[in-house]
Amino acid sequence: MKLVEPPSCSSPSTIVFIGRNRRGQWVAQEQNGLYGGLFVSRAQAVKYALFENGQHPETIVELPREIELDMGKNPNTIVSQRAA
């Protein structure tokens, strides 16, 4: 009998965005809003992202613009750009 693992929400194709919010805190947020958090350092944000995504550093994207943690109902709008 062959064992098959169920699909994981932390599949290697899952992108995790990291960056700073407008208050200077580090944010890590999964692209669909499934998980995320606020951190005091970049290292902690990356460590969390690696833990959550199954140790896939290639799926972590550091954003040059602000990112706000959004655990609301619309996960497609997690990345916000600073207003000019």
pLDDT digits 0-9 by tens, 38-65: 999 999 999 999 999 999 999 999 999 9
Q: Is residue 53 part of a domain?
A: yes
Cβ of 38: how many Cβ atoms within 10 Å? Answer: 16
Quick check: 67 pLDDT over 60? Answer: yes
Across 16-20, 24-28, 51-55, 68-72, least confident range: 68-72
- 10 lies in some domain: no
Residue 66 placed within a domain: yes
User: Mean pLDDT score of the chain, rounded to an integer?
Assistant: 81
7 falls within a domain: no
Residue 60 is encoded by which pair of tokens? 């972590």
Within a domain: residue 49? yes
Domain span at residue 72 reads 16-77
Backbone angles phi, psi at 16, to 5 degrees: -120, 120
Indicate the number of domains in the chain: 1
The structure's pTM equals: 0.70
